[in-house]
Structure 1
Amino acid sequence: MKIIELAIEFEFNGQRNCIYPSLIVLNHELTLVDTGYAQFLPLIEEAIVEHGYELANLKNIIITHYDDDHIGSLYDFKQKYPWVHLIASEEEAKYISGAMKSERLGQAEAMLENMVGKEREFGEWFIRQLKSLKHVPIDEQVRDGEVILNGTCRVIATAGHTSGHISLYFPSVQSVITGDAAINEEHKLTIANPQFCLDIKEAERSLQKVLDLQANTYYCYHGGKLVLS
């Protein structure tokens, strides 16, 4: 098996940005981890094809957590590739499917009450973005410590950024896909957007949990791959 970093470049507020979904290749089958913002389907498809793989072999999509930059194109993927098996934690599945209002939306609405001016404009825009996300039922709900993908991947509960956030550990290649439990900032693993963590103490514990795995390679959604040895 191998893990491929997909570099998805885009422009936001006049600045160039990049996110890094991961592609897991196992026995000629593909598993995508997180799907970018809304309308990022073509960008991710292009990146997969550029690496020499066919979307017909896309078997699974794993969602680390409910945030618009991670689930934005999930609905589009499921519509275009209806056979794809969707995986998320039990907690996040409730928000992704629409069974419950998302924590992130509740947080954004609460924060809006104390915003003014340009900050409030952005807050209102962000709430619209969250409300525009289309819900998708999750096929498989996973728990901490569960082994998936033919025994190659262990689910690691990494709450804090959101309550049901998960990371993925691959012992055979000493690698971790961190989601937003850790980002690569100046070649160091740190917490993603601590001001928006739903529980900063949990986020700190989860970061340590990820570090304690002592992996050789950390695939960070923000900041890109970090190779430690």
Structure 2
Amino acid sequence: MKIANGIEALDLTVNMMGRQSALHPTLIWDDNEVILVDTGIPGQLEKIRKAVTSAGASFDKLNKVILTHQDIDHIGSLPEILKGAGRKIEVLAHEEDKPYIEGDKPLIKMNPERMAKMLESLPEEQRQKIQTMFGARRSAKVDTTITDGEVLPYCGGMTVIFTPGHTPGHISLYHQKSKTLIAGDALVAADGALLPPSPRTTLDMTTALQSIKKFTKYDIDTVICYHGGVFKENVNKRLAELADTQ
């Protein structure tokens, strides 16, 4: 979905845990930069390439990937993107999640015990397929670490908002020019509503809820949730309501 000139929420269809759903990486671009925020699950390089082209940008000019956090559905296709590009792409992420993205530590949510619990209700064939897809070691070098409040001077300016809780190093981004919040998994959209992150997939729900309060400092017209897509209805009011309940 197009948000404004040079910013679009991509739509990647996936089948996870026996359910078909969509993931929404964000594409931001201008004459100098083509930036992808998050990279889908493993094996989605061609879907991403097509989505970038359909948005009106050039995959061949992609020069930066910003990761909101370490989860496999956000970093899954990163190694394929870096390999398939045939040129240098700068990878940016928060310091807290860097060792997980780079493979120095195992992904927090992919340990065998947690995986077994997540998959226990699925048929054996589906369990094996998901374990094969997600079980392989996938890592990539983080070239640049980004910090809370840092303004990235790309595409009209993007402010980094450190929003831990869902993972220790989760970040969100505020695109100043379009007044768009790229929330990652700090928020979700469902049935026309803007909601806190899912407790089932959030490591520290108390911290995650506190992180929502940071969004009230910004004038936001649009929220892009990685799960659920775009929310545009009285955004600042809704964020204030969510912050007040914590």
- Structure 2 length-normalised TM: 0.82
* 2:167 aligned counterpart, secondary structure: coil
Deviation at 1:133, TM superposition (A): 3.9
1:170 aligns to what?
175
Match of 2:58 in 1: 54
Q: CA RMSD in A?
A: 2.6
Q: Do the aligned residues in 1 keep the contact of 2:119 with 2:127 (CA within 8 Å)?
A: no
Alignment of 1:180 with 2:180, yes or no, is no
Matched, 1:205 2:210: yes
Q: Of the candidates 70, 79, 96, which is equivalent to residue 101 of structure 2?
A: 96
Compute the displacement of 1:32 (Å).
0.3
Specify whether residues 202 and 124 from structure 1 end up closer, same or farther in structure 2 by C-alpha distance, changes over 3 A only: farther
User: How far apart are the structure 1 equivalents of 2:141 and 2:135?
Assistant: 17
String of CA shifts for 1:131-183, please: whole Å, max 9, x gaps: 31411111101111111134701110111111100000122321110100011
Residue 1 of structure 2 is aligned to residue 2 of structure 1: no
Contact 2:38-2:65 within 8 A present in 1 as well? yes
Number of residue pairs matched by the alignment: 227
**Are residues 119 and 54 of structure 1, via their aligned partners in 2, closer, same or farther at CA, if it must alter by over 3 Å?**
closer
Residue 142 of structure 1 aligns to which amino acid in structure 2? I
Contact 2:37–2:68 at 8 Å: present in 1 too? yes
Identity over aligned residues, as a percent? 32
Q: Which residue type is aligned with residue 143 of structure 2?
A: D
Q: What residue number does 1:24 align with?
A: 28
What is the aligned counterpart of 1:192 among 189, 197, 210? 197
Q: Could you tell me whether the CA contact under 8 Å between 2:17 and 2:122 is conserved in 1?
A: no
Tell me, in whole angstroms, the C-alpha distance in 2 between the residues paired with 1:213 and 1:184. Answer: 19
Partner of 1:227: 232
Tell me whether 1:86 sits opposite 2:91 in the alignment. Answer: yes
The match for 1:118 among 113, 118, 121 is 121
Q: Specify every segment of 5 or more residues in structure 1 that has no aligned partner in the other structure, as ranges.
A: none
1:45 is aligned to 2:49: yes
Q: Structure 1: how far apart are the matches of 2:34 and 2:119?
A: 45
Is 1:157 the counterpart of 2:162 in the alignment? yes
**Equivalent pair of 1:161/1:203 in contact (CA under 8 Å):** yes
